Amino acid sequence: MKHKLIAWLLVLAACFAFYASPTLAAERDSISVTGHASAEVAPDMAVLFGGLEKRAATAEEARENLAKEMAAFKHLLLVQAIPDQDIQTIHYSLQPEYRFEKNRRKLTGYAARADYKVKIKNLEKLSDIIDKSVNVNLLIDRVDFGLNNRSLFENQLLDEAVSNARSKAAVVARAGGRSLGYLIRASLGTVTGATRTMNRNMMMAKLEDGAAMESTPTEINPGVISVEANVSLEFALE
């Protein structure tokens, strides 16, 4: 009987220690909330992706023809005051091409290609750059619209999301007769939607519309970018 009583006392002591543990006490004296902020902002820069491609009977001829077009493209960008560091060659290839005749592979020539990524920090130059790029045979894959000071805008949006979360937590704390204490934990979500893309099909439609009237410049309407930020915060309750 005495041994059973001791055993029960040990069980009760263990239960008391469990429920009085700091972890559970912290859970009862804290609140977790999420915060959200969103905005629509007009883009102020663009990144153009496109390529130049030449075919010829020999590798040297294909390389030489492509080199001339690359030089012409680089020149028109420099005339538009696009600095060297904003002009990136992201891919270059020079490869043989074949066709099959009677189940045998036959060399038909060579293809040289260079792909570019060009950052355009002044959107007013975009239409003119597109029109002049087409004149030097650039094939435009897509244009991404974004923000020059993206990190500054993201920080402002995260600040709004944190304020939104803190406001929610304060309301809930007051409803329970408590006040909001120090920040225990924070998880910052990724800011999403900071770019907008115009793909090749959209670009070709614009260019074909402009081709009907030879002197009409390409008109690009970037619209607005919808940006969202989310945070998760945990506050102590006092």
Domains and CATH numbers, the chain: 27-43+147-196+221-238 (3.30.110.170), 45-146 (3.30.70.2970)
Q: Residue 57: what pLDDT?
A: 96
Report the candidate in 43, 45, 142 with the shortest Cα–Cα distance to residue 86.
45
Q: Residue 43: what pLDDT?
A: 92
Residue type (1 letter), 21: S
Helices (H) and strands (E) in the chain, counts: 6, 8
Dihedral sign of CA atoms 7, 13, 15, 21 in order: negative
pTM (whole model) above 0.75: no
**Do the strands 30-41 and 225-237 form a parallel or antiparallel pair, or are they unpaired?**
antiparallel
- pLDDT tens string 164-209: 999 999 999 999 899 999 999 998 876 676 566 766 555 554 445 5
Query: What strand order describes the sheet that includes 139-146?
Result: 87-101, 104-120, 45-56, 139-146, 196-199
Report the candidate in 43, 71, 60 with the shortest Cα–Cα distance to residue 221.
43
